[in-house]
Amino acid sequence: MDMTVENGHLLWDGCDTVELAKTYGTPLYVFSQSIIEERCQELRQDFVDKYDNVRVAYASKAFSTMAMMRIIEKQGFSLEVLSDGELHTALKAGFPVEKIEINGNNKSMAELEMSIDHGVGRIIVDSLQEVDRISAIAKEKQKTVNVLFRITPEVNVNTHSFISTGQKDSKFGIPINEDILFPQVEKAINAEGINFLGFHFHVGSQLDDNSAHLGAVDIALDLVQEVKKRLDYEVSELNFGGGFGVRYTDEDIRQPFAYFLDPMMEKVLAFCEKENYPQPAVVIEPGRSIVAEAGITLHTIGAIKELPGIRKYVSIDGGMTDNIRPGLYAAKYTGVLANKADQPAAEKVTISGKICESTDILVKDIELPTVEIDDVFATFSTGAYGYSMASNYNKLLIPAVVLANKGQANVIVKRQTLDQLIENEVIPDSLK
Ligand SMILES: Cc1ncc(COP(=O)(O)O)c(C=O)c1O
């Protein structure tokens, strides 16, 4: 993986990671603002500045903090949220509400009301009950809500089945079925308080092959044509989701955004030309590809256990509580000893967490310099779905997050405290 080393220490966006570990303690998430901004710049170059009427909505589930919302806002991008919590974070960060869109396969009435009260830019409908619910709330509040339908495009993707979402048997999206989809679309077009914009899909995540995205675009365009034919209605927006893959290890490929977006846009533009159809706005929702490679996690090494002829376990002061992806989807990571970043590999070890689960293994069989207690292990590419999925299992604290930018470091999330862990707990009188 790409890295800068100075005096044997790993630097991250100009900051000495060993010093960061000392100053802020470990486990510690460290994000590079420069890398996040580079990815945004690539998106502008490959998409926003290249095509008319297109937008990027950062999928905030990948890393949702107020500081991150500020970075995204400064980039001029929109924002995708999935819950009242993500919406609240964005609003508290001052994110322009009209540039927020909300997804979710089971939005509560409270979440729909909150979204409509604040005036979010779009609600992506993902269930058969939602049109009626949105229309009722919008009528009562005398508002008009922009709506897209998330469809299940029924394409198979080459990724872990737990992060593929667009196949037929999926909890996500409205099935493209005669008796289900078209009556819903017709209802949305005619419903009071609803402005039906078009269709949304998200085929899956961590993809380095564009075939699923391209297949889904074909399906969405067929649908656009069918809606015109059957309902005489022209859609004005299509949302193609996220899913663009990143490098977790040296074996992974991060394709340029253009690899996915150019042929997708070619299809849309060719369709519009052929059918004499006004070009709908095209929105994408990248999450991981903006933030994954910008983040690393620092851990301090404690217990070391050698099982002769079997393996050497090296334990860190965190684990699946700060990065559940290896346990959840067998995700692979790599890393370095941040304080020995210029030393050659000397042994093969397995990095294990301190959580009471056998699946709490962060990296299996990694070559490192000779590992000693108190070394600092830096895991690469933990910026997406690391902090987002962090938990308090075993009552470990959620780590702090530091934002590094050209040698300057700022804490953007403080480490949780032991008292915060139990602040919502109540002992009933009968147990006192
Ligand atoms: C609807 C939707 N949009 C966007 C994303 C972001 O995907 P990624 O982080 O892979 O770009 C997801 C991820 O699950 C999603 O469900």
Tens-level pLDDT at each residue, the chain (432 residues) = 889 999 999 999 999 999 999 999 999 999 999 999 999 999 999 999 999 999 999 999 999 999 999 999 999 999 999 999 999 999 999 999 999 999 999 999 999 999 999 999 999 999 889 999 999 999 999 999 999 999 988 776 655 555 556 666 678 888 888 788 899 999 999 999 999 999 999 999 999 999 999 999 999 999 999 999 999 999 999 999 999 999 999 999 999 999 999 999 999 999 999 999 999 999 999 999 999 999 999 999 999 999 999 999 999 999 999 999 999 989 999 999 999 999 999 999 999 999 999 999 999 999 999 999 999 999 999 999 999 999 999 999 999 999 999 999 999 999 999 999 999 999 999 999
357 appears as a binding residue in the annotation: yes
241 appears as a binding residue in the annotation: no
329 appears as a binding residue in the annotation: yes
Closest-CA residue, ligand 1 atom 16, reads 202
Ligand 1 centre to CA of 432 (Å) is 46
**Mutation pick for ligand 1 pocket among 122, 159, 202 (CB with most ligand atoms within 8 Å):** 202
Q: Which atom of ligand 1 is nearest to the CA of 207?
A: 10
> What pLDDT is attached to residue 179?
84
> What pLDDT is attached to residue 80?
98
> What pLDDT is attached to residue 2?
84
Ligand 1 centre to CA of 103 (Å) is 10
For the chain, residues classed under CATH 3.20.20.10 are 64-286
> What pLDDT is attached to residue 269?
98
> What pLDDT is attached to residue 168?
66
For the chain, residues classed under CATH 2.40.37.10 are 4-30+292-422
286 appears as a binding residue in the annotation: yes
> What pLDDT is attached to residue 289?
98
Phi/psi for 202 (5° steps) reads -145, 115
> What pLDDT is attached to residue 158?
58
386 appears as a binding residue in the annotation: no
Q: Which atom of ligand 1 is nearest to the CA of 82?
A: 1
> What pLDDT is attached to residue 171?
80
Evaluate whether the domain defined by 64-286 bears CATH number 3.20.20.10: yes
Which amino acid would we find at residue 138?
Answer: A
Ligand 1 centre to CA of 190 (Å) is 30
Q: Which atom of ligand 1 is nearest to the CA of 288?
A: 9
Catalytic residue among 15, 40, 272, 356: 356
> What pLDDT is attached to residue 1?
83
Phi/psi for 341 (5° steps) reads -70, -15
Ligand 1 centre to CA of 36 (Å) is 17
285 appears as a binding residue in the annotation: yes
40 is catalytic: no
3-state secondary structure the chain: CCCEEECCEEEECCEEHHHHHHHHCCCEEEEEHHHHHHHHHHHHHHHHCCCCCEEEEEEHHHCCCHHHHHHHHHCCCEEEECCHHHHHHHHHCCCCHHHEEECCCCCCHHHHHHHHHHCCCEEEECCCCHHHHHHHHHHHHCCCEEEEEEEECCCCCCCCHHHECCCCCCCCCEECCHHHHHHHHHHHHHCCCEEEEEEECCCECCECCCHHHHHHHHHHHHHHHHHHHHHCCCCCEEECCCCECCCCCCCCCCCCHHHHHHHHHHHHHHHHHHHCCCCCEEEECCCHHHHHHHEEEEEEEEEEEEECCCEEEEEECCCCCCCCHHHHHCCCCCEEEHHHCCCCCCEEEEEECCCCCCCCEEEEEEEECCCCCCCEEEECCCCCCCCCCCCCHHHCCCCEEEEEECCEEEEEECCCCHHHHHCCCCCCHHHC
Ligand 1 centre to CA of 59 (Å) is 6
Q: Which atom of ligand 1 is nearest to the CA of 242?
A: 11
Q: Which atom of ligand 1 is nearest to the CA of 385?
A: 9
> What pLDDT is attached to residue 159?
55
> What pLDDT is attached to residue 116?
98
Q: Where does residue 311 rank: exposed (0-12), middle (13-18), buried (19+ CB within 10 A)? A: middle
**Mutation pick for ligand 1 pocket among 127, 170, 174, 205 (CB with most ligand atoms within 8 Å):** 205
Which amino acid would we find at residue 41?
Answer: Q
Closest-CA residue, ligand 1 atom 10, reads 243
Task: Report the pocket of ligand 1 as residue ranges, CB < 6 Å.
Answer: 59, 62, 80, 103, 165, 202, 205, 241-244, 285-289, 384
Ligand 1 centre to CA of 309 (Å) is 42
Top CATH class of 4-30+292-422 equals mainly beta
